[in-house]
Structure 1
Amino acid sequence: MRFFALVAASVMLLAVAAAAAEYNVVDYGARPGGRADDSAEAFLAAWAAACNDSSSPVMRVPAGTFLVSQAYFKGPCRSAAGVVLAVDGVVVAPSAVDSSAWIMFHYAHGLKIRGGTLDGNGHAYWACKSKTTPGRRCPHGTTTLDISQSRGVSVRRLTLVNSKNAHMAIFDCTDVTLRGVKMLAPRDSPNTDGVHVQLSTDVRILSATIRTGDDCVSLGPGTSDVVIRNIKCGPGHGISIGSLGGEAGEAPVRNVTVEAAELTGTQNGLRIKTWGKPHPGLVESVTFAGVTMRGVQNPIVFDQSYCPGRGNVNCPGKSSGVKISDVKFTDIQGTSATPVAVRFDCSSTNPCTGIMLNNVNLTYNGKQAKSFCKNAHVRLLPRVAPRRATAYRPALPCQLESRPEIRLVGLRLPVLCLPVLRLPVLCSCYACPSRASPSARDRAGDPTAGPAPPSRSPHLLVYTHMLVIYFQDILGCGKFKKLGLQNEEALQKCFGDIISVGNDHWSPHMVHGAAAASPSNAPNVDGNDTQDIDIDLTQDKATCEEGDTNEVEQISPVNANGKRPPRPAPPKAKKQKSGTALTIQEAVTSMATSATSYASTKQGKYSIDEVMEHVIACGATYETNEHFIASELFVKKEQREMFMTFRNNEVRFSWLTRKYMAKYGN
């Protein structure tokens, strides 16, 4: 009996402890029920209390609608498990937010967000952006939820709607999981990306529904080890890697997997986009598998000549320095809204390599869609069909933009064309089938024909058969063999519907946290880095006075009269101050200290000159966009301190770029 009593008491104590670990925003002054009373201070107070709790704190937002002007939740917190933000109600933003992010979490390690709705209230902003009035000034395009420099973050069942800009941004984070999230905005809402990930690793986006006016998911520079699974996307601009290569020194994107995705009515499906600039970069080890397309305008697209603006003045030569390699497409099915379903427009100086397509079947208006390939090395794998009759189909005419030449085993041959097995025709640096096996034409016409034998090395085929096999058994290639570039008119008809709509990709900008300590590699202007110089004025004075008493007295020489000149009289000691004088001096000293403290508060921890030196050090030199936006931002000490929290120059430069694009690049 005593044992059961102890158990009951323990359960009660645990219940009390659990109740004590919950911090309800209403208890800190939040007022639900409308859009008039700002609850931002109450939210921040509840977070401060929860963040200071070392147990397992829960910050709760109860049912109801809460207006929050802006909230910046800063860590790290005391709890090793992290703070749980449980949202049962709706948190709504004002129509304008004077920042590039509305709800921000910085250094929030172990953060867990559960349920609720964040309403970005972006209608007024969209209306302003849609107007064409010259000289109009729209408010900032604000990101709804910004999580930066955090690790071990989990977001579940959260709904984000009507964001002014991107719905969610993950910046410089590690180990982030989004599960069951929803992001909703009208089809025509500008720049309303779903999730943007940048400079982050080990990110999982699972079972998400994203219907917005821009990319469902976009992956920026420095992103690696990303898994996107069971996502429903559309309307919007699809799933994008990029844009990349816009600035020098961008980190690579690698190890990305997209599985079991559904894209409906999107502008793009699976896209890799890079600027037509020579800045070096890398995209590698990317897998797209089990993706269904429904009425997608550009189901598969590599665009390495992206350069919005007039005249392409920012892209000399329009040749991208970003290398794309090892990208696999497997089990991609569905319908295209345009005739060209697969478009590989790769860099002339860095051709795409290691591109593989396996069981890709995309149709347009009930017929097999076409494809386009430039500067890409593509490998096609056959689909193992249950019936031989459907194992092979005749190839479609090759859509060639040009006929570059390559050199294989000492022979100079034009680019050859591959027959396609349930695929559009792609142009690649591989040889055509040899006479050693039944031709593609025979297989296409013979329903009893078996599968093709294993293909031999293309180099061996070219060496063995030379020009005898060139274009011999490939349907639709004859006119290109005979006429070559005289088919440009047909090409223009085929690709005339592919147009550029300008900058259709949001570049994230956000405000990050307060200042941290100066970087360890900051120059030390005080001398030896390992030597501390202590200056104590009182000690110096005592030493000096002691030296006077021990010094050997100097004897003055005798003058002509036999007398020594008079010794100079020592200065008279100062009269001791009275009690009133001491009181006045203390008051004046206190006032001076307060004035110095106030001036320090206004100036902040970092001066403008000091921060601008770091701006230049990170690569934002004079006459650059980043230097220009820094000169605007860093008149405010809060912005200077945020900038100095970033861990290295790469992060700082990327942040400045995003700030500039948020204000001037939309």
Structure 2
Amino acid sequence: MPRRKVALEKIENRASMQVTFSKRKKGLFKKAQELSIMCDAHVLVLVFSAASKLSHYANPSVSEILERYKTHQLGPENPSIDLSTKEIERLRKEVDERDLILSERDLTIRQLKGENLDNLSIEQLIALSELTLNGFYRQKAKEMELYEKTIAFVKAWAETCSSSGTGSPTMYVPAYKTFLVKPTTFSGPCHASNINVQIEGSIVAPGVSNWGNNDADTWLSFYRIDGLVFTGSGYIDGSGSSWWERSCKFSHKEGCYSSSPTETHFSNCHNLTVSNLSIMNSQQMSLVVLRCENVYINQIKITSPEYSPNTDGIHLAASQNVRIIDSSISTGDDCISIGDETSNVVIDGVTCGPGHGISIGSLGKDQATATVENIYVSNSHFINTTNGARIKTWQGGKGYVRSISYENISLSNVSNPVIIDQYYCNTDNGCGTQKSAVQISNVKYNNFWGTSASNYAVTLNCSKTVACTDIHLTNINITTVPLSKGNTEAVCINAYGQADGYLNTDMSCLHYVETKF
């Protein structure tokens, strides 16, 4: 059956265009690198963005390839050497023109900031002043527009929350409409026992430049609202790219951001439902559930680029009785992370990737006491992730992680399919050896299959002073990519338990103790 042709069209949404451009450019450069390495080829790829920003990949270098292109003799069967010379000259001229435009723009920006003014005439200074004032007025007009839309949301919420009529009052965001909204808190308690927020259109966050003096660490915050149903087929766009490029993970320049706002935050909400929405481009974490009970998250789609820093998909903390069902998460960090004081969580039918897996932790930082128990992950898929089923704790912590189950898990090109890491250290200065540790016990891994991107299928790096106990692995069928590397391996430190069923990984490093569940 022939493949259906897909018509390509220009992406009109600016944020979607930027995300697609970044992902496709990264993929293009990756393919160029593979071609260069695998085939010993000299490769040059030049890409100009819609804003005339130049990016390139070259091996060995731009100048060497351009010179080779200019002087290359194509032979008598293809006498187009003159055309090649003209083409290379045209390309060089275009690059020079683009460089000049970018230099002029950079100078104008510096002058608008009050720099490099010494050589300007009085006429140029007046023109620059007019340009500055025009920009200022346009910015203020945009700020007022943004403020008015935010006020409209606040008023709509006040009416919905105060409604005391029968049924479930609904705050409705209409389809085919886009609303630019500043950081806003929607607070309860509300009069009705059930409240609906239905998003059919799009809600877009301001970027860093329009965030204003508001130091809010959350964009959309929902606080003390019982019976909240947050649903719809619309989009929530955090406009995260302007935050990512200022992250201290990418740049250590003065003024870089060590943290950024959470996109959507639910705290102290009971009987909460989040369903069907698309949440994208989070500034940092996409969806946080804090101090909530009886939470149902169903059929949501969360997407942030693989390179975006600290963009956990869903983060749970101090919450109980949570179900996350049939959802897709692609992020630059954990697809789902489970924090302290969290229990009775069911995760079923989740597709994760790219990202850092479904993780319990990190726990125990700064000698803190942590408690996590009764976590059940099943029928889920990990695709091109750094981790699959992960538990991570800092040295020196206290407390416990217990009664954990990962079952029926498929893996595709996952670097650490099964991993317990009790030496987690996410600091530039390293972490010293500590004697205490969060105690990990009663953990079950059942029916894992697929491929590892490394030689390892199972890594159980437990504390040397506080052993992991009652670890049970059953039917672990994980091969390497490519298969020619042979069987996958396991590595263990102070781990006790049992491995049985079909195992294509040697689990002799696990100290055998009959486990009971």
TM-score range relative to shorter protein: 0.5 to 0.7
Report the counterpart of residue 226 of structure 2 in structure 1: 109
Report the counterpart of residue 266 of structure 2 in structure 1: 147
Report the counterpart of residue 181 of structure 2 in structure 1: 68
Contact 2:369–2:438 at 8 Å: present in 1 too?
A: no
Cα 1:133–1:306 change in 2 (3 A) is closer
Matched, 1:87 2:199: yes
Matched, 1:51 2:161: yes
CA deviation digits over 1:47-92, x for unaligned, max 9? 1111111232011111200010111000010102x21001110000
Provide the rounded CA distance (Å) in 2 between the counterparts of 1:34 and 1:132. Answer: 28
Cα 1:330–1:183 change in 2 (3 A) is same
Provide the rounded CA distance (Å) in 2 between the counterparts of 1:306 and 1:179. Answer: 31
Aligned ranges 1:374-413 → 2 under 5 Å: 374-383=493-502
Contact 1:70–1:103 at 8 Å: present in 2 too?
A: yes
Matched, 1:195 2:314: yes
Provide the rounded CA distance (Å) in 1 between the counterparts of 2:380 and 2:252. Answer: 40
Provide the rounded CA distance (Å) in 2 between the counterparts of 1:269 and 1:117. Answer: 28
Q: 1:126 aligns with which of 244, 254, 279?
A: 244
Report the counterpart of residue 395 of structure 2 in structure 1: 276
Report the counterpart of residue 173 of structure 1 in structure 2: 292
Contact 1:378–1:427 at 8 Å: present in 2 too?
A: no
Report the counterpart of residue 414 of structure 2 in structure 1: 296
Provide the rounded CA distance (Å) in 1 between the counterparts of 2:261 and 2:345. Answer: 25
Report the counterpart of residue 345 of structure 1 in structure 2: 461
Provide the rounded CA distance (Å) in 1 between the counterparts of 2:368 and 2:384. Answer: 35
Instruction: State the AA in 2 paired with 1:104.
Output: S
The RMSD of aligned alpha carbons is 2.1
Report the counterpart of residue 577 of structure 1 in structure 2: none
Aligned ranges 1:355-370 → 2 under 5 Å: 355-364=471-480, 365-366=482-483, 367-370=486-489
Report the counterpart of residue 37 of structure 1 in structure 2: 146
Contact 2:364–2:370 at 8 Å: present in 1 too?
A: no
Contact 2:146–2:182 at 8 Å: present in 1 too?
A: no
Matched, 1:323 2:439: yes
Report the counterpart of residue 568 of structure 1 in structure 2: none
State percent identity of aligned pairs: 37
Q: Displacement of 1:319 after TM fit?
A: 4.2
Provide the rounded CA distance (Å) in 2 between the counterparts of 1:139 and 1:45. Answer: 33
Q: Displacement of 1:139 after TM fit?
A: 8.5
Provide the rounded CA distance (Å) in 2 between the counterparts of 1:160 and 1:310. Answer: 31
Report the counterpart of residue 5 of structure 1 in structure 2: none
Contact 1:359–1:423 at 8 Å: present in 2 too?
A: no
Q: Displacement of 1:236 after TM fit?
A: 0.6
CA deviation digits over 1:228-255, x for unaligned, max 9? 0000000010100000011445341000
Contact 1:160–1:183 at 8 Å: present in 2 too?
A: yes
Cα 1:346–1:142 change in 2 (3 A) is same
Q: Which has the higher strand share?
A: 2
Q: Displacement of 1:378 after TM fit?
A: 2.5
Report the counterpart of residue 334 of structure 1 in structure 2: 450
Deviating 4+ runs (over 4 angstroms): 33-36
Contact 1:233–1:264 at 8 Å: present in 2 too?
A: yes
Query: Helix, strand or coil: the match of 2:423?
Result: strand
Instruction: State the TM-score, normalized to the length of structure 1.
Output: 0.52
Cα 1:359–1:90 change in 2 (3 A) is same
Q: Displacement of 1:140 after TM fit?
A: 5.2
Q: Displacement of 1:311 after TM fit?
A: 4.7
Contact 1:110–1:153 at 8 Å: present in 2 too?
A: yes
Query: Which of 1 and 2 has greater Rg?
Result: 1
Q: Displacement of 1:342 after TM fit?
A: 0.7
CA deviation digits over 1:395-432, x for unaligned, max 9? xxxxxxxxxxxxxxxxxxxxxxxxxx43333323339x
Instruction: State the TM-score, normalized to the length of structure 2.
Output: 0.67
Instruction: State the AA in 2 paired with 1:346.
Output: C
Provide the rounded CA distance (Å) in 2 between the counterparts of 1:175 and 1:79. Answer: 18
Query: Helix, strand or coil: the match of 1:138?
Result: coil
Report the counterpart of residue 427 of structure 1 in structure 2: 509
Provide the rounded CA distance (Å) in 2 between the counterparts of 1:291 and 1:201. Answer: 24
Provide the rounded CA distance (Å) in 1 between the counterparts of 2:197 and 2:277. Answer: 11
Instruction: State the AA in 2 paired with 1:328.
Output: K
Cα 1:310–1:71 change in 2 (3 A) is closer
Q: Displacement of 1:105 after TM fit?
A: 0.5
**Relative contact order higher in (CA < 8 Å, ≥ 6 apart):** 1
Contact 1:199–1:223 at 8 Å: present in 2 too?
A: yes
Contact 2:358–2:389 at 8 Å: present in 1 too?
A: yes
Instruction: State the AA in 1 paired with 2:150.
Output: A
Report the counterpart of residue 259 of structure 1 in structure 2: 378
Contact 1:343–1:371 at 8 Å: present in 2 too?
A: yes
Instruction: State the AA in 2 paired with 1:246.
Output: K
Cα 1:127–1:310 change in 2 (3 A) is closer
Provide the rounded CA distance (Å) in 2 between the counterparts of 1:253 and 1:372. Answer: 24
Report the counterpart of residue 58 of structure 2 in structure 1: none
Contact 2:370–2:398 at 8 Å: present in 1 too?
A: no
Provide the rounded CA distance (Å) in 2 between the counterparts of 1:133 and 1:356. Answer: 43
Structure 2 residue runs of 5 or longer lacking an equivalent are: 1-141
Cα 1:310–1:84 change in 2 (3 A) is closer
Provide the rounded CA distance (Å) in 2 between the counterparts of 1:145 and 1:238. Answer: 20
Provide the rounded CA distance (Å) in 1 between the counterparts of 2:152 and 2:380. Answer: 40
CA deviation digits over 1:357-387, x for unaligned, max 9? 000111112232001011000301223xxxx
Query: Helix, strand or coil: the match of 1:37?
Result: helix
Provide the rounded CA distance (Å) in 1 between the counterparts of 2:433 and 2:367. Answer: 16
Instruction: State the AA in 2 paired with 1:85.
Output: V
Cα 1:251–1:372 change in 2 (3 A) is closer
Query: Helix, strand or coil: the match of 1:144?
Result: strand
Instruction: State the AA in 1 paired with 2:322.
Output: V
Report the counterpart of residue 363 of structure 2 in structure 1: 244
Cα 1:67–1:430 change in 2 (3 A) is closer
Number of residue pairs matched? Answer: 360
